């Protein structure tokens, strides 16, 4: 696997595959968000996919490719904090392939339930995503299952389709904020920008309680870092993906860190301004834009609401 970006033709082919299972999502300009940030703000609503998060696009493209292989594997396995696992479950079920998903202990109850409802076998192991991923790799060997990675060129092509939609709908964006988990979303955004020949600044967003990508971006080398975020499980990455880092080093403008308190404030603002639910990672772009409000004056800004999958009790606490 190289750090090459998918071409416009590859993104358009991926879009055709994605649209067999779901419609394009909307991008809206919300007046109350514009008022809050003092400039024009667009939201890309990846919370409106069939799994409530952007990852499903990558899963659909990956499993479309897998379904064309001979012979098919006896099953697949992957690790997740929730949204990637729902993507694998959704796409595997459509392809008629059995799926096992490994999550860390203490994972979101409602994300776990959603994955089980898609027919996956759920295994709990380890204290964080990295431990779950290592266990999934071991189980893949033991049970002769195909390990579905959380970062792969086909996943980037799939999730890059939301960026293609956004940048074609609003081609004169000055800056777009993209949350970073393992990196497929921001790499897809960069790919779409490059394919369309635009000059939009792509800014990554991480939790300051999971700063591995920010540290790696700043120091131009891969750096592991423990994860302590209480709200942004979608960005709870301890070990960066080398291929994603290569793309960020070449093409991202910067990586902004946001605290759990800032993310929770953004979740509240997103709800009051748009009446959309955002999980922690889904509100991170807004948190970063609020943090950088002074540098956004007069600019046209977009935020990726990448997911809405937050447990009810957690969301009730945040809103209260």
Q: Which pLDDT tens digit goes with each residue over 273-315?
A: 999 999 999 999 999 999 999 999 999 999 999 999 999 999 9
The DSSP secondary-structure symbol of 320 reads -
Q: Is residue 205 within 8 Å of 228, Cβ to Cβ?
A: no
pLDDT at 318 over 70: yes
Of the three residues 91, 115, 147, the one that is the final residue of a domain is 147
Q: What is the CATH number of the domain that holds 84?
A: 3.40.50.1100
Mean pLDDT of the chain: 96
């709990």: which residue's tokens?
Answer: 124
Please, which pLDDT band fits residue 3 given cuts at 50, 70 and 90? Answer: confident
pLDDT at 2 over 70: no
User: Does a structural domain hold residue 24?
Assistant: yes
The residue among 320 and 130 whose pLDDT is bigger is 320
Could you list the residue range(s) of the whole structural domain that residue 171 is in?
Answer: 8-54+153-319
Of the three residues 147, 178, 199, the one that is the final residue of a domain is 147
How many structural domains compose the chain? Answer: 2
Q: Is residue 150 within 8 Å of 162, Cβ to Cβ?
A: no
């834009």: which residue's tokens?
Answer: 289
pLDDT, position 249 = 98
pLDDT digits (tens, 9 = 90+) for 167-220: 999 999 999 999 999 999 999 999 999 999 999 999 999 999 999 999 999 999
- Which pairs count as long-range contacts for 142-146, CB under 8 Å and 24+ apart, including other chains? 143/75, 143/77, 143/100, 144/73, 144/74, 145/73, 145/74, 145/75, 145/76, 145/77, 145/100, 146/66, 146/73, 146/75, 146/76, 146/77
pLDDT digits (tens, 9 = 90+) for 285-296: 999 999 999 999
Same-domain status, 120 and 131: yes
Please, which pLDDT band fits residue 129 given cuts at 50, 70 and 90? Answer: confident
Percent of the chain having pLDDT more than 70? 99
- Region of 275 (left: φ > 0; alpha: ψ -120 to 50; beta: rest) is left
Please, which pLDDT band fits residue 82 given cuts at 50, 70 and 90? Answer: confident
Q: Is residue 99 within 8 Å of 63, Cβ to Cβ?
A: no
* Selection from 289, 35, 13 nearest residue 174 by Cα: 289
Q: Is residue 202 within 8 Å of 304, Cβ to Cβ?
A: no
Same-domain status, 181 and 45: yes
pLDDT digits (tens, 9 = 90+) for 151-161: 999 999 999 99
Of the three residues 147, 181, 205, the one that is the final residue of a domain is 147
Same-domain status, 117 and 193: no
Question: What are the beta bridge partners of residue 76?
Answer: 99, 146
Q: Is residue 288 within 8 Å of 256, Cβ to Cβ?
A: yes
User: Does a structural domain hold residue 183?
Assistant: yes
């Amino acid at each position: 696997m190289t750090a090459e970006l998918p071409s416009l033709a590859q993104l358009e082919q991926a879009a055709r595959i994605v649209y067999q299972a779901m419609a394009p999502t909307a991008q809206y300009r919300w007046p109350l968000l514009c008022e809050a940030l003092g400039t024009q703000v667009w939201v890309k609503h990846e919370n409106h996919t069939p799994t409530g998060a952007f990852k499903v696009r990558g899963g659909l493209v990956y499993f479309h490719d897998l379904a064309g292989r001979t012979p098919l594997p006896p099953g697949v396995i992957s690790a997740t904090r929730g949204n990637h696992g729902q993507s694998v479950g959704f796409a595997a079920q459509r392809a008629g392939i059995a799926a096992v998903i490994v999550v860390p202990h203490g994972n979101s109850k409602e994300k776990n339930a959603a994955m089980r409802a898609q027919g996956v076998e759920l295994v709990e192991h380890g204290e964080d995503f990295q431990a779950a991923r290592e266990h999934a790799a071991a189980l893949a060997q033991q049970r002769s299952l195909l390990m579905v990675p959380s970062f792969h060129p086909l996943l980037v092509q799939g999730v890059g389709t939301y960026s293609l939609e956004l940048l074609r709908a609003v081609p004169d964006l000055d800056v777009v904020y993209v949350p970073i988990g393992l990196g497929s979303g921001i790499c897809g955004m960069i790919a779409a920008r490059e394919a369309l020949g635009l000059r939009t600044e792509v800014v990554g967003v991480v939790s300051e309680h999971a700063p591995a990508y920010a540290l790696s971006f700043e120091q131009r080398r891969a750096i592991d870092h423990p994860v302590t975020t209480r709200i942004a499980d979608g960005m709870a990455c301890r070990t960066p993906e080398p291929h994603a880092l290569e793309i960020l080093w070449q093409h991202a403008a910067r990586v902004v860190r946001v605290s759990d308190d800032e993310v929770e404030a953004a979740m509240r603002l997103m709800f009051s301004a748009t009446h959309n639910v955002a999980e922690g990672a889904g509100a991170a772009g807004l948190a970063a834009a609020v943090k950088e409000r002074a540098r956004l004056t007069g600019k046209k800004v977009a935020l990726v609401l990448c997911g809405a999958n937050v447990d009810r009790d957690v969301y009730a606490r945040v809103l209260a």
